Structure 1
Amino acid sequence: MSDPLKHECGIALIRLLKPLEYYKEKYGTAFYGINKMYLMMEKQHNRGQDGAGFASIKLDVKPGQRYISRVRSNAAQPIQDIFGQINDRINQELLENPDIKDDVAAQKAQLPYIGELLMGHVRYGTFGKNSIESVHPFLRQNNWMHRNLIMAGNFNMTNVFKLFNKLVELGQHPKDMADTVTVMEKVGHFQDREVRKLYKKFKAKGFSKIEASPKIAEELNVGKILKKSARDWDGGYAMGGLMGHGDAFLLRDPAGIRPAYYYQDNEVVVVASERPVIQTAFNASFEEVKELDPGKAIIIKKNGTVSLEQISEPLERKACSFERIYFSRGSDKEIYQERKELGKLLFPAIMESIDDDIDHTVFSYIPNTAETCFYGMIEEGHEVLNRQKRDYILAGEGKLTKEQVDSTLSRKLRTEKIAIKDAKLRTFITEDSSRDDLVAHVYDVTYGVVKPEDNLVIIDDSIVRGTTLKKSILKMMDRLHPKRIVVVSSAPQIRYPDCYGIDMARLEDFIAFKAAIALHKDRGTHDKIVNEVYDKCAAQKDFEDEDVVNHVKEIYAPFTDQEISDKIAELLAANEINAEVKVIYQTVDNLHKACPKNLGDWYFTGDYPTAGGNRVVNRAYINFFEGNKERAY
């Protein structure tokens, strides 16, 4: 993506189903779980590089022994940092106690981080400061083993203020209004309540406190706790939790916005944000890794039993399409094919933009996430070219000369690596003019392959803000002196903010919104429509979420997609580009064809999957109108 976005988070959960001695004997190490967690977190580093955290729980330890360990980092390379710390701690303990080198029971008793239950998290900070306090997992501590709670997730709630107030009404005093804190405190509240009920039950039956403890662990109803906790949640989430006595869960939102996959064999139960991560780490097949259904939780009891439970009534499935276009690892079998299909479906519009002149067109892509779409685009281009060759030869009715046939067969698509990203170039000077000059050179180009009579087609996976295109890529492409530059987006026009975990919160940042506003100015409708939409949004401030209407759609309503695309091309090219510039976006219909299981398209259509989305988009418009830079949720 030419416009970098902070987004998502990645979560990994491992439950070892055998004693640690089993893994020592079979795999040569009692650190099997830690090693697998490191691999799973590294394989999800694409989902977060601002922070990382790891937590573990040891099962069946004696009172007085430490059974919960946690480490977090917001260092420049947080995954390496936390596992470096883990490695240093373990090695130091082994150095001081060499007699436990091959004694697994002693290692479990004395070494930190070794345990049967492990959870890891990688984070992008989509909003606010990237302090260590914001890094997952979060820990809620208590001397009662069953009331300890560790939580981490890939989520964002649209109604955090409402959730905060609910906690206050319960008599709590949350330390922060962040959605992570409010969610954990809600789960913790019902966890505490359930533990108290069970204790009273067993006390009435004559159990002593120490006798009641294992019975509470056995009968604690995790599904019931989650159902009560999630009742008021509005957002997208894949949320994992570990309870001190050894129960664990991962819960997915009822619209399936955020992804979650799981795998189980006789040695482990594993949950992660991405399927290929589990496939790689545990050598599992595509079919063995299952997707967790919307609104369901996978619950792993302390005794190792695993169940799937419907926690929230499922809504219409609206799994995030950006997962497929950009965020998820392209090594997933389905995602790879979907991205190729996105490129393929764009080719008819590309042909129209170059006046069907394949012979004088160079095709390329913005590295690196658009590469797979590029392959699909080129495959379809080969099909088109082969049909042209066939039709020409057949039309010759056997009268073509050898030279004419050879010339026809030699025609091919001209594909080149044009844009080269200089990953090490940093805009270290903050003064505006210096920064702009450096930004303009973040990408370099390959010289000598584009001719003045050529079209240059370059595909990107999405165009969000257009900043890098305007300040860098188009300028660099123009240095090659093509006749025409066609910028192709495998995603549709991004018109509306996200509120479920992706850093796209401000309307005025979107190049599509800027283009619509510019078109209103051109047509003399700007003041009227901008004020009318503001008034309608403001009038709904105190409405219940279910009653709010997305009035921002009215900004785009008078214009066709093509009119907005043309205006975007005009805004991006400004007066500095000599070549003609065209911009092609994917259609929403084609997006759905390519990604039929991930129909969450609110970024493009404004059709939010939860009730809180309309309130957020209207709030974002009010912020735009009032010049308020605050977050809309």
Structure 2
Amino acid sequence: MSDQIKHECGIAFIRLLKPLSFYREKYGTALYGLNKLYLLMEKQHNRGQDGAGIATIKLDVKPGNRYISRYRSMASNAVADIFEYVQNKFVDIQNNTPELMQDTEWLKNNVSFIGEVLMGHLRYGTHGKNSIENCHPFLRQNNWMTRNLVIAGNFNMTNVDELLEQLYELGQHPKEKADTVTVLEKIGHFLDDENQDLFDQYKQEGLSNVDITHKISDNLNIGNILRRSAKTWDGGYTICGIVGNGDAFIMRDPAGIRPAYYYADDEIVVAASERPALQTAFNIQYKNVREIQPGHALIVKKDGSVAEEMFREPTEKLSCSFERIYFSRGSDAEIYRERKHLGKLLVDEILKTVKHDIDNTVFSFIPNTAEVAFFGMVEGVHQYIRDLQKKHLLENKDQLNDEQLDRLLSLSPRVEKLAIKDVKLRTFITQDADRQDMVAHVYDSTYGIIRNHVDTLVAIDDSIVRGTTLKQSIIKIMDRLHPKKIIIVSSAPQIRYPDCYGIDMSRMGQFVAFEAAIQLLRERGMEQVIEDVYDKCKASVLLPKEEIVNHVKDIYRPFSREEISAQIAKIITPKDTVAEVEVIYQSLESLHVACPNHRGDWYFSGNYPTPGGNKVVNKAFINWREGINQRAY
């Protein structure tokens, strides 16, 4: 992606089902769980570079001994920093009393982070301050083991105000207005309720307080706690939680917006935001990794029993398609195929635009995430050429001489890597003019490949959000190669609406497609459409979110996709560009063909999977119209 945007966080969860001694004997180390947690997090480091954190819980620890450990970091390489901190706890032991590294019972009783339940989190801060207090996991502490709660998640709630008001009504006083705090306190409240109900029940049965503590630990109804907690949540979420006694859960929103995968056998239960992380860390076959179903929670009890339990009625499954286009790693077999398919589906429109002139067209991509879509595009061009050759041979087989036949069979797409990202370049100069000049050099180019003012250059990007890097860097660099025409191709449709479920795309003014539509309205004397949408959005503010519709769709309604694409091309073309610039976008229909099981497309279509989405998009438009530069939820 040429415009880097922050996005969904990542989770990692491990529950060791055997005694720690089992893993030392079988795998040769008492640190098996920690090593695997490190791998799970490193294999998802693309999901968070604003910070990271881990938490572990030891099972069946005697009273008075520490059983919960947590550490968070905001270092530039937070995952490595965390595990270096943990590793240092074993250095003296390894150097001075190495035999104790084999004594799992001693390690569990004397060294923090050695436990049976492990959680990790990678943070991409979509909004708010970047401080250690914003890093997950979050911890709610209590002297009662079964009232302690640790959570970490990949989520955004659209109705934080409503959730906060509910906490006030319960008599709580949250320390800040943030969805992480409200979620923690909401689950914590009903965890307390469950504890109290069980305590009262067992007290009436005449049990001692010590016996009651054990009975509560055995009989906590995690599913019931989650059902009561999540009843009014509106958002996209995968939330991992651990209760102090060792009960654990990973819950997924009813529309399946955020991803969650798991694997379980008789040794381990593991979960993560991405399937390949599980496959790599634990050498698991693709077919054995399961997806947590929307509206369900994977619940792992302290006794090791595992169940997938519904906590809210699932809605239509609208999993985030941006996960497939860009965010998740392409090492997932399904995602790899889908990205190739996205590229292939653009071929007909590309060939039409270049007038099927293969000889004078060079195909390339914008590094690095568009590479797989590029492969699909090239495959599609090869298929077109094969079909063309076959047709020509069948129709002219008796008329072709050797020279004509050689020329026909030599026809092939010209494929080159023309843009090279210089990952070491840093735009450290503070003055805006100098910074823009530095941005223009973030990419290098390969000279001498394009024939001056003859060739058309087709470059595929996975998506175009703001268009800033295209304008300030990429198109300038490509124009220096002196092509006749530059065609920028987006494997994703036009991004027209804000996301409110975890992606850093919440302000209307950020989107080049929105800027293009506004420009077209003004150029054509249709400014009244802008005012009408503003009035409708303002009128909807006091409505219940369930009654609100997305009025911002009216901004785009007068124009075709091609008209907006043409206006975007004008916006992203720098002054003094010699080559003609054109932009081609994927259609919504083709997106769904390529990604049939991930139909969440609200940032393209404006069709939000929860009522809160419509409230957010209207508020985002109001903020834009009133010049308020802040998120809409």
Same fold (TM over 0.5): yes
C-alpha deviation, 1:94, in angstroms: 4.9
- After TM superposition, the structure 1 stretch with the greater mean CA deviation from structure 2, 394-403 or 133-142, is 394-403
The SS at the match of 1:359 is coil
1:399 alignment counterpart: 399
- Partner Cα distance (2:91, 2:191) in 1: 36
- Partner Cα distance (1:24, 1:105) in 2: 11
C-alpha deviation, 1:480, in angstroms: 0.3
1:100-499 equivalences under 5 Å are 100-452=100-452, 453-499=454-500
The SS at the match of 1:232 is coil
The SS at the match of 1:589 is helix
Q: Give the residue type in structure 1 aligned to 2:265.
A: D
Residues 464-518 of structure 1 show CA distances to partners (whole Å, capped at 9, x for unaligned) of 0000000000000000000110000000000000000000001111000000011
- Partner Cα distance (1:175, 1:4) in 2: 32
Whether contact under 8 Å (1:550, 1:606) holds in the other structure is: yes
- Partner Cα distance (2:101, 2:260) in 1: 37
Residues 244-283 of structure 1 show CA distances to partners (whole Å, capped at 9, x for unaligned) of 0010000000000000001001110011101111111111
- Partner Cα distance (1:97, 1:160) in 2: 51
Task: Give the TM-score of the pair, scaled to structure 2.
Answer: 0.99
Q: Give the residue type in structure 1 aligned to 2:202.
A: F
Identity of aligned residues (%): 59
Residues 221-252 of structure 1 show CA distances to partners (whole Å, capped at 9, x for unaligned) of 00000000000100000000000001000000
1:544 alignment counterpart: 544
After superposition, the CA RMSD in angstroms is 0.9
C-alpha deviation, 1:394, in angstroms: 2.3
Residues 309-343 of structure 1 show CA distances to partners (whole Å, capped at 9, x for unaligned) of 11011011100000000000101010000000000
Whether contact under 8 Å (1:353, 1:582) holds in the other structure is: no
The SS at the match of 2:359 is helix
Distance change in 2, residues 1:95/1:143 (3 Å)? farther
C-alpha deviation, 1:159, in angstroms: 0.4
Q: Give the residue type in structure 2 aligned to 1:552.
A: V
2:630 alignment counterpart: 630
Whether contact under 8 Å (1:90, 1:112) holds in the other structure is: no
Residues 72-112 of structure 1 show CA distances to partners (whole Å, capped at 9, x for unaligned) of 00111100000010011232455565552321100110011
Residues 96-143 of structure 1 show CA distances to partners (whole Å, capped at 9, x for unaligned) of 655523211001100110100000000101111110000000000001
Q: Does 1:578 align with 2:541?
A: no
Q: Give the residue type in structure 1 aligned to 2:567.
A: K
- Partner Cα distance (1:95, 1:56) in 2: 25
The SS at the match of 2:53 is strand
Whether contact under 8 Å (2:73, 2:81) holds in the other structure is: yes
- Partner Cα distance (2:103, 2:303) in 1: 24
- Partner Cα distance (2:59, 2:97) in 1: 22
Unaligned stretches of 5+ in structure 2? Answer: none
- Partner Cα distance (1:612, 1:379) in 2: 41
- Partner Cα distance (1:43, 1:377) in 2: 28
2:502 alignment counterpart: 501
- Partner Cα distance (1:53, 1:262) in 2: 20
Whether contact under 8 Å (1:93, 1:111) holds in the other structure is: no
1:516 alignment counterpart: 517
- Partner Cα distance (1:455, 1:394) in 2: 30
Whether contact under 8 Å (2:155, 2:501) holds in the other structure is: yes
Residues 438-469 of structure 1 show CA distances to partners (whole Å, capped at 9, x for unaligned) of 01111110001111210100000000000000
Whether contact under 8 Å (1:363, 1:416) holds in the other structure is: yes
- Partner Cα distance (1:93, 1:272) in 2: 31
- Partner Cα distance (1:397, 1:146) in 2: 81
Q: Give the residue type in structure 1 aligned to 2:262.
A: Y
Q: Give the residue type in structure 1 aligned to 2:177.
A: M
2:618 alignment counterpart: 618
Task: Give the TM-score of the pair, scaled to structure 1.
Answer: 0.99
Unaligned stretches of 5+ in structure 1? Answer: none
- Give the number of equivalent residue pairs: 632
1:529 alignment counterpart: 529
- Partner Cα distance (1:90, 1:181) in 2: 33
Q: Give the residue type in structure 2 aligned to 1:385.
A: I
Runs of 4+ in 1 over 4 A off after TM superposition: 93-99
Residues 25-52 of structure 1 show CA distances to partners (whole Å, capped at 9, x for unaligned) of 0000111000000000000001111111
- Partner Cα distance (2:233, 2:91) in 1: 43
1:82 alignment counterpart: 82
Q: Give the residue type in structure 2 aligned to 1:522.
A: E
- Partner Cα distance (1:68, 1:89) in 2: 16
